[in-house]
Amino acid sequence: MSAAPILRVEDLHICVRGRPQAQILRGISFHVNAGETLGIVGESGCGKSMTSLAVMGLLPEGVEKTSGRVVFRGQDLAIDDNRAIRKIRARRIGMVFQEPMAALDPLYPVGKQVLEVIDEHLRLPRAEAWERVIDLLRRVDLPYPERLAWSYPGKLSGGQLQRVVIAMALACNPDVLIADEPTTALDVTVQAQIIRLIKALQRETGVAVVLITHNLGLVAHTADRIAVMYAGHKVEEAPTRDLFLTPRHPYTVGLLQASPNPDRNPGSDGRLLYEIAGTVPSITDPMPGCRFAPRCVSASAACRAAVPTMTGAGEHAVACFHPAQGVLA
Amino acid sequence: MTALLDIRDLHVTFRLGHGLIHPVRGVSLSVERGETLALVGESGCGKTTLARSVLGLQSIAGGQILFNGVDLAGLSRFQMRRFRPHIQCVFQDPFSSLNPRKRVEVLLREPLDVHGVGDRRERLRRVHEMMELVGLPTEWGKRFPHEFSGGQRQRIGIARALILRPDLLICDEPVSALDVSVQAQIINLLQTLKKDLNLSYLFISHDLLLVETFADRVAMMFKGEIVETGPARQVWQNPQHDFTRRMIDAIPVPDVTRPAPPAFRIDREPQ
């Protein structure tokens, strides 16, 4: 495992096209090392999917990047129109999306769709390319790959489809795999199979994994490091153990307490689960301070006046003026 | 005392092309008054089909659905109308289950209109009373569903289901489309309403970890059959059926002091 970051995102800002006040990402930075799994956690609207699309250069029509860099092995990938850069992105960074059915064309056999990726990027002779397709399908543990390659997506289960999508993402031996809610549409037993597959492939190839999810349980048992996002900001980052045992941002604390956990007793107020009151602010809301302040139990005047920056000792950093101290009960 | 809902040997079949599929295969279960029974299973196990047959939205192939001792399956459409107010439902998707062209006040009043409850003023009073109960400011009654967040929309769905003062509320994955922090708000709301309005719940979910925190009993459904029932905590701590064990082995609890779920371990051979 090398310590040099393989992928680095620096101070990424994204807004609605032509409306600079409607900010979707408000300065996101993170990195991932070879062989490592970084978990990015947040609820809907926090910008976690937009972050992955920005890394892949797949930002939708209506939004634009206003500043920030995406650096892969020291090379800036932000120059979107450069063909060579596009090639690096397509070959070196693989992506797995939430809905496997939406990522595949229902009118082509799945093997052909894996082949398309190989044809586009690797230029192998026909027979060799097809052999590679079969090999990939075998590596993602699909049964009878020679036969299954000729199946249409409609004939496969959700878990099998997600395996095909993972095979496509791995077709060019990428250095980074970005998995955006890869198991959210799947049953919990199938989720476990997909997670085990990703972990096994990571051990085999040393690929760096960025796992984007809303599921705290999933990152607790898969990620080495976790970044927590809220309303377009990264609010906390720490090694997985530290984040769960000594969370510092009030939002992280709230999320952990709101998650069902059979070992924790219900709160003293008689409520079953801890609630974070209120809702996420609109992206156009021009509030000057911390965007979590309106929902925060420890917010002060300072929080409403200025946006806190990331500070912290060692690998544990938090963007909060009044971070929690001590161990989560 | 008879159970509020008592399902006996229920069968449901669908015709598919030339064949017949059998999504509910002899299910028996009961919901006592004041109880929350969670029906847990994976996608396609038949749990929603079961709920639809209790609501009279799905014809059944055999068995009995006793509500307060009366078999709903034997009732005519006209007779069924009398029972509808007593059994209501909250759906999974708060985005598609509300008519986007109607104001919240109208959406909430509709069940009262249909069943001819009270006069205009009485209906409006009950709409406002219900909005307060589920935590929606009454002045939002003039708004349309799209002006609300997912959690707020689910509050509207709950208010609409409760406005006829039912005895049994069937909740079909009511929080699985919601974020964790909002999920907690809705679960707590359902719990409070249950106490205040004397409700019983049939709570359908794929999330055993969630229902473990608040259901009284759990029924595990697998391939159209109930394979295990028991007190929620007991099923979680001491599962008896192989399906329940496999599910629990795959659930990641958000707690780093616990070992990773056995099904996540790559040194273990796939089953």
| pLDDT > 80? residue B269 | no
Asked whether residue A129 is domain-assigned, the answer is no
Gyration radius of chain B over CA positions: 20
Chain A contact residues (CB < 8 Å to B)? 43-44, 141, 158, 187-189, 191-193, 195-196, 199-200, 203, 214-218, 220-222, 240-241, 244-245, 254-256, 258-263, 266, 271-277, 279
Asked whether residue A323 is domain-assigned, the answer is no
Nearest residue to A98 (alpha-carbon basis) of A193, A191, A212, A185: A185
CATH code of A75's domain: 3.40.50.300
More confident residue, A98 or B156: B156
Asked whether residue A50 is domain-assigned, the answer is yes
- Angle in degrees, 0-180, between the axes of helices A83-92 and A110-122, rounded to the nearest 10: 130
Q: Do A259 and B180 touch (CB under 8 A)?
A: yes
H or E element at residue B121: helix B120-133
The closest CB to that of A262, out of B42, B212, B270, belongs to B212
Average pLDDT over residues A171-195: 93
Q: Do A187 and B191 touch (CB under 8 A)?
A: no
Euclidean distance between CA atoms B157 and B177, whole angstroms:
13
Tokens read off for A165: 């999508």
H or E element at residue B77: helix B77-83
Q: Which residues does chain B have within 8 Å of residue A258's beta carbon, measured at their own beta carbons?
A: 180-181, 183-184
Q: Which residue has 């597959």 as its token pair?
A: A197
H or E element at residue B261: none
**What are residue B10's DSSP bridge partners?**
B27
Asked whether residue A319 is domain-assigned, the answer is no
Nearest residue to A152 (alpha-carbon basis) of A187, A212, A193, A109: A109
Number of domains in chain A: 1
More confident residue, B27 or B180: B27
- In tens, the pLDDT along A266-313 reads 544 556 788 888 888 888 888 899 999 999 999 999 999 999 999 987
Buried b (16+ CB within 10 A) or exposed e, B180-189: bbbbbbbbbb
Tokens read off for B135: 């935590």
- In tens, the pLDDT along B110-127 reads 999 999 999 999 999 999
Average pLDDT over residues B171-187: 91
The gap between the terminal CA atoms of chain A, to the nearest Å, is 34
Euclidean distance between CA atoms A40 and A226, whole angstroms:
6
Euclidean distance between CA atoms B65 and A285, whole angstroms:
51
Tokens read off for B163: 């406005």
More confident residue, A319 or A313: A319
Buried b (16+ CB within 10 A) or exposed e, A32-47: bbbbbbbbbbbbebbb
CB proximity B214 to A under 8 Å: yes
| pLDDT > 60? residue A265 | no
Q: Is the dihedral of CA A102, A105, A107, A112 positive or negative?
A: negative
**What are residue B65's DSSP bridge partners?**
B7
Residues sharing a CB contact under 8 Å with residue B46, sequence separation 6 or more, in sequence order: B12, B23, B24, B25, B27, B221, B223, B224
Q: Would you tell me how many other CB atoms lie within 10 Å of the CB of residue A205?
A: 15
- Please report the pLDDT score of residue B200 as a whole number: 98
- In tens, the pLDDT along A243-257 reads 999 999 999 999 999
Asked whether residue A254 is domain-assigned, the answer is no
Tokens read off for A312: 């912290």
pTM over 0.95: no
- Please report the pLDDT score of residue A1 as a whole number: 44
- Please report the pLDDT score of residue A270 as a whole number: 55
For residue B195, the 8-state DSSP code is H
Q: What is the complex's ipTM, to 2 decimals?
A: 0.89
Report long-range pairs for B106-111 (Cβ below 8 Å, ≥24 apart): B107/B145, B107/B156, B107/B160, B108/B141, B108/B156, B108/B159, B108/B160, B108/B163, B110/B160, B111/B85, B111/B160, B111/B163, B111/B164
Q: Is the dihedral of CA A247, A249, A252, A253 positive or negative?
A: positive
Euclidean distance between CA atoms A180 and B142, whole angstroms:
38
Asked whether residue A121 is domain-assigned, the answer is no
The closest CB to that of A221, out of B42, B179, B252, belongs to B252
Asked whether residue A63 is domain-assigned, the answer is yes
H or E element at residue B200: strand B200-205
Tokens read off for A30: 């993170």
Question: For residue A223, what are the domain limits?
Answer: 5-102+176-193+203-230
Q: Which residues does chain A have within 8 Å of residue B249's beta carbon, measured at their own beta carbons?
A: 192
- In tens, the pLDDT along B136-175 reads 999 999 999 999 988 999 999 999 999 999 999 999 999 9
Asked whether residue A220 is domain-assigned, the answer is yes
**Could you give the domains of chain B?**
5-262 (3.40.50.300)
